A and B are shown apart, each in its own frame.
Chain A
Amino acid sequence: MPRIPGTHVGTGPDGAEIFRPIIIVAIEIGGRGIRVPALVDSGADNTLVPEPFVAPLGVDFRKLTAGPGGLGPGGGLETRLCQGVIRWEKEKIVLMTSFMVAEPGKGPETVLLGRADFFRLYVPRFHWHKNPPVFDLDPVARNG
């Protein structure tokens, strides 16, 4: 498994450069697909997809099955279950076949890869003491 450099996303208010553990995934629904960034997020219970990423694929949030909802530093959040494939293209692996979608106008700016699904497939190791930061995603099968 290759070691992946953190993605540089800007400079914080304290002048420090900010890097995030991001991979590129493909979301595929009904024969249509889109490629988007996804953040490896140990703080997320489940994988969560922003609504603008599935809207181009013909998904109407209002017609999705209601989910458990969510609560984070940004406040309450309605989530709904969506059937679709999320694939990590570089590793040619299907990560999941359903996921939660955040209500329009709320939630994250990118896909959050959470513990209940993604973290059962990969063991992340963050090396944010390095410059630039890097992270490993080791397949669970390799770790036992």
Chain B
Amino acid sequence: MVVEDKTRDEGLVHEIEPAVQEELVKHPGKWVALTRSEVIAIRDTPADAYAAARLAGIESPILYHVPDPRAGYSYF
């Protein structure tokens, strides 16, 4: 008999808020600067995204490269 551990399903901890994830997936291939709860800047390069976030007053943005699942296979 397989017994599944369900004891920790309550109190899930999101690393990135679900609403932000859904915004990110709209921009495959782009570099995005964000916080856990807000998208700050969407750019073509990591340097541009990072700089835009700093200009917006975010001292320590999360730098995220949106995967492009349409490629069908991801290296990582």
Instruction: Name A's B-contacting residues (CB within 8 A).
Output: 1-5, 7-13, 18, 20, 22-24, 26, 33-37, 39, 41, 44, 50, 52-53, 55-56, 72-74, 90, 107-110, 112, 134, 136
Q: Which residues of A contact B36 (CB under 8 A)?
A: 24
Check A22–B16 contact: CB distance below 8 A: yes
Q: Which of A4, A10, A20 contacts B14 (CB 8 A)?
A: A4
Q: Which residues of A contact B24 (CB under 8 A)?
A: 9
Q: Within the complex, what minimum Cβ distance (angstroms) separates B60 from chain A?
A: 6
Given A26-B60, A41-B76, is A10 in contact with B68 using a C-beta cutoff of 8 Å?
Answer: yes
Interface class of chain A by DSSP: strand
Check A74–B60 contact: CB distance below 8 A: no
The 7 closest A-B pairs by CB, nearest first: A108-B76, A2-B13, A10-B69, A74-B75, A52-B46, A3-B8, A109-B65
Q: Within the complex, what minimum Cβ distance (angstroms) separates A35 from chain B?
A: 4
**Which of A2, A33, A136 has the most CB atoms of chain B within a 10 A radius of its CB?**
A2
Check A2–B69 contact: CB distance below 8 A: no
Check B60–A33 contact: CB distance below 8 A: yes
Q: Which of A3, A23, A26 contacts B12 (CB 8 A)?
A: A3
**Roughly how many angstroms separate A59 CA and B25 CA in the complex, as a whole number?**
29
**Roughly how many angstroms separate A36 CA and B36 CA in the complex, as a whole number?**
11
Chain B residue nearest to A43 in the complex (CB)? B76
**Roughly how many angstroms separate A14 CA and B14 CA in the complex, as a whole number?**
26
Q: Which residues of B contact A8 (CB under 8 A)?
A: 18, 21-22, 25
Check A36–B64 contact: CB distance below 8 A: yes
Check A36–B60 contact: CB distance below 8 A: no
Q: Which residues of B contact A37 (CB under 8 A)?
A: 15-16, 62, 64
Q: A22-B15, A50-B65, A110-B65 are in contact. List 5 more A-B contacts (CB 8 A).
A: A3-B12, A8-B18, A23-B15, A34-B61, A35-B63
